[in-house]
């Protein structure tokens, strides 16, 4: 099997994470991709298990047994994609054109998954006498709550839920597939998301003075938040060598009942990108204090809907050096890098597993209206991963 052939099949199978919305049921969740992966691993005589994390949402885990005394390596690639609203191409009809493969998930992250599967298959069928044990986890729900990775870590730490027969103990290291342009990611920012709400007093719009406009109040808050977000970009004391500065944006706003009622409520959704050294609770408190010093009315910060930690480079330098060495034999421009986006990697790192992020494609093509991946990078990633897995003697 080739990575391109596998990628085309993966892209053709919808596995949309609805991100909290109601979407077309035939496109939602990972069950069809999970079924395909189980069949693929079984047809190539690899041990495989499917573990349901939530109804219709499963992790698929495959294992290639290595030599006794050799390390165990975990490969992670998520099955889900973001929604397909506004795409300018057919999301589930993979299109090969000008050295690219187009389709939803081609870059994030089914390309990385296809490369890992092919590298694992090559290792399984190779005549190499000594080799590591390699476990591949195809995880669910990375794009929203990272339920799949949390389930795996929970089972490794003896928490509630299903035990993993094919990964009964902590691996020695982990590589998480994301579009890094074949660079080795050793650090990245985390994220915390929450709602902020203002209240007003409803009144007839013919006499707005009888009410209190919650949208106007939110407008005042938004002006302060915009200035606060700009100051984060210049906050040199908390800038990270690999991740740069933290960031904040407001992505959703809603309010009011109808146009002829003075609105009694308004809400926004905040996305705060955190550095590995920052705690979600503290950054929320910092913004809360900043706002309360600058407005004369009440507002409410809701509990976070998403909290994902950042990846620290503290314990993964040796692993990064090994993977970089393999990468540079194929792609001379590969380098150690910090990443601007969030991944599964910290889930494993915080469990004590040295973890890096690696894969074909660029984050600039992920989640776009015409998502694509360079086929050359897809093939290079497969070769790099295979050489990396074979580098352990």
Q: What is the CATH class of 190-308? A: alpha beta
pLDDT of residue 24: 80
DSSP state of 28: B
Please answer whether residues 245 and 235 qualify as being in contact, where contact means their C-beta atoms are separated by less than 8 angstroms. yes
Cα 11 from Cα 33, distance rounded (Å)? 9
Spell 225-244 as b/e; 16+ CB within 10 A means b: beeebeebeeeeeeebebbe
> Half-sphere exposure of 277 toward its Cβ, with a 13 Å CA cutoff?
11
Residues in the chain with pLDDT < 70?
159-162, 235-239
Report if pTM > 0.75. yes
Cα 327 from Cα 165, distance rounded (Å)? 31
pLDDT of residue 127: 75
Cα 196 from Cα 218, distance rounded (Å)? 9
For 137-151, how does the pLDDT look when each residue is reduced to its tens digit (9 = 90+)?
999 999 988 999 999
pLDDT of residue 100: 98
pLDDT of residue 161: 57
Determine what percent of the chain falls in helix, strand and coil, rounding each to the nearest 5: 30, 25, 40
Report the topology of domain 3-188+310-390.
Aminopeptidase (3.40.630)
Domain ranges of the chain: 3-188+310-390, 190-308
pLDDT of residue 351: 94
């Amino acid at each position: 099997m080739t990575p391109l052939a596998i990628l085309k099949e993966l892209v053709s199978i919808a596995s949309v994470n609805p991100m909290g919305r109601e979407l077309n049921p035939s496109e939602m969740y990972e069950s069809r991709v999970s079924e395909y992966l189980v069949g693929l691993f079984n047809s190539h005589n690899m041990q495989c298990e499917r573990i349901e994390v939530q109804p219709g949402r499963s992790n698929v885990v495959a294992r290639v047994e290595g030599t006794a005394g050799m390390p165990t390596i975990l490969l992670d690639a998520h099955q889900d994609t973001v929604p397909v609203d506004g795409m300018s191409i057919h999301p589930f009809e993979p299109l090969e054109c000008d050295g690219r493969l187009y389709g939803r998930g081609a870059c994030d992250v089914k390309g990385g998954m296809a490369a890992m599967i092919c590298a694992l298959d090559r290792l399984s069928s190779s005549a190499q006498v000594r080799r590591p044990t390699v476990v591949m986890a195809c995880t669910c729900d990375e794009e929203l709550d990272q339920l799949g990775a949390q389930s795996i870590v929970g089972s490794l730490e003896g928490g509630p839920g299903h035990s993993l027969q094919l990964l009964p103990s902590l691996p020695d290291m982990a590589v998480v597939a994301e579009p890094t342009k074949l660079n080795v990611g050793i650090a990245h920012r985390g994220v915390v998301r929450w709602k902020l709400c203002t209240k007003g007093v409803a009144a007839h719009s013919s006499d707005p003075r009888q009410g209190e406009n919650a949208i106007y109040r939110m407008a005042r808050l938004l002006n302060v938040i915009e200035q606060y977000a700009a100051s984060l970009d210049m906050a040199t004391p908390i800038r990270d060598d690999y991740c740069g500065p933290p960031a904040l944006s407001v992505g959703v706003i809603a309010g009011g009942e109808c146009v002829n009622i003075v609105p009694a409520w308004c809400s926004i959704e905040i996305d705060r990108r955190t550095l590995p050294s920052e705690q979600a609770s503290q950054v929320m408190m910092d913004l809360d204090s900043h706002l309360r010093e600058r407005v004369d009315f009440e507002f409410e910060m809701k509990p976070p809907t998403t909290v994902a930690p950042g990846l620290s480079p503290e314990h993964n330098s040796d692993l990064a050096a090994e993977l970089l060495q393999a990468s540079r034999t194929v792609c001379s421009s590969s380098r150690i890098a910090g990443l601007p986006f969030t991944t599964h990697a910290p889930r494993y790192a915080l469990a004590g597993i040295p973890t890096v992020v690696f894969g074909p494609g660029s984050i600039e093509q992920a989640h776009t209206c015409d998502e694509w991946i360079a086929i050359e990078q897809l093939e290079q990633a497969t070769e790099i991963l295979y050489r990396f897995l074979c580098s352990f003697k």
